[in-house]
Amino acid sequence: MTTTDYAMYIAGLPRVLAGAAMLFRDGGGRVLVVEPNYREGWTLPGGTIESDEGETPRQAARRETLEEIGLDVAPGRLLAVDWVLGTARPPLVAYVYDGGVLDDAVFGAIRLQEAELLSWKLITRDEIPAYLPGSLGPRVQAALESLDTGRGPAELENGLPAR
Judge whether residue 1 has pLDDT over 80: no
On whether residue 4 sits in a domain, the answer given is: no
Q: Label residue 15 by pLDDT band (50, 70, 90).
A: confident
On whether residue 67 sits in a domain, the answer given is: yes
Number of domains in the chain: 1
Could you tell me the CATH number of the domain that includes residue 103?
3.90.79.10
Q: For residue 38, what is the DSSP state?
A: S
Q: What is the predicted pLDDT for the residue at 55?
A: 95
Tell me which residue range forms the domain holding 64.
Answer: 11-161
> What is the residue-wise DSSP string for 1-31?
--HHHHHHHHHHSPP-EEEEEEEEE-TT-PE
The mean pLDDT value for 82-108 works out to: 94
The mean pLDDT value for 117-139 works out to: 96
On whether residue 55 sits in a domain, the answer given is: yes
Question: What gap in Å lies between CA 126 and CA 22, rounded to an integer?
Answer: 19
On whether residue 1 sits in a domain, the answer given is: no
